[in-house]
Amino acid sequence: MSAVAPTPGSALAVSVHTVCLTINGRRLSIEVEAWVTLLDLLRERLDLIGTKKGCDHGQCGACTVLVDGRRINSCLTLAVMQDGKEITTVEGLAQGEVLHPLQRAFIEHDAFQCGYCTPGQLCSAVGLLNEGQARNRDQVRELMSGNICRCCAYPQITDAVMSVLQGEEQDGGGASIQPWIPGTVPG
Ligand code: FES
Ligand code: FES
């Protein structure tokens, strides 16, 4: 649905659309201008600032989120294009107080320094594991190559992803978690 609304302080009219999104399990109906990116909607209007803006041009992966379980650069898509979709951001990965296995693995393997790239790395890694294409370190590196880490924590990031891929991480009770099952996106 769309409507025309005046721009504040301007005689020009702008096109405003109503989009329905399920974000981290919460269903929302939002009025948004046609040019607003999903990234800006998340950060600037919904205060979900875990998703980071790095380049704003699809070059760094800091803005990676999951749309219907698939990873995308949220700076490269308009919010109105995602009408009806399920969005998972880094804020939606944990189940309450229980961290996602990849979050635990990143901590365990010291897979960040400044942490700016980490939300995007985590969402990208969830998407990667869901895709079921990565089987070894080289494939993890290749398929995560769109996520830049300026702190060069790549070896530790790869260690963390591999540990979940291979089911080596321990859960909170000390039991080994199961290897990742493609198609099981939390949140
Ligand atoms: Fe989207 Fe860099 S901010 S890819
Ligand atoms: Fe600093 Fe990746 S941890 S950019």
Q: What is the pLDDT, as a whole number, of residue 7? A: 55
> Which region among 13-17, 58-62, 108-112 has the lowest average model confidence (pLDDT)?
13-17
Which domains are present in the chain? 2-92 (3.10.20.30), 101-165 (1.10.150.120)
Q: Which atom of ligand 2 is nearest to the CA of 151?
A: 1
Beta-bridge partners for 23 = 26, 87
Ligand nearest to the CA of 54: 1
Q: Candidates 149, 159, 161: which one to mutate for ligand 2, based on the most atoms within 8 Å of Cβ?
A: 149
Report the percent of the chain where pLDDT is more than 90.
81
Predicted TM-score (pTM) of the model is: 0.87
Q: Ligand 2 centroid vs 147 CA: distance in angstroms?
A: 10
Give the pLDDT confidence score for residue 175 in this predicted structure: 43
> What is d(CA 161, CA 62) in angstroms, rounded to the nearest whole number?
17
Q: Name, in order, each residue with C-beta under 8 angstroms of 89's C-beta and a sequence gap of 6 or more.
A: 23, 24, 42, 48, 50, 51, 65, 66, 119, 123
Residue with CA nearest ligand 2 atom 2:
149
Q: Is the pLDDT confidence value at 95 over 90?
A: yes
Q: Please give the mean pLDDT across all residues of the chain.
A: 89
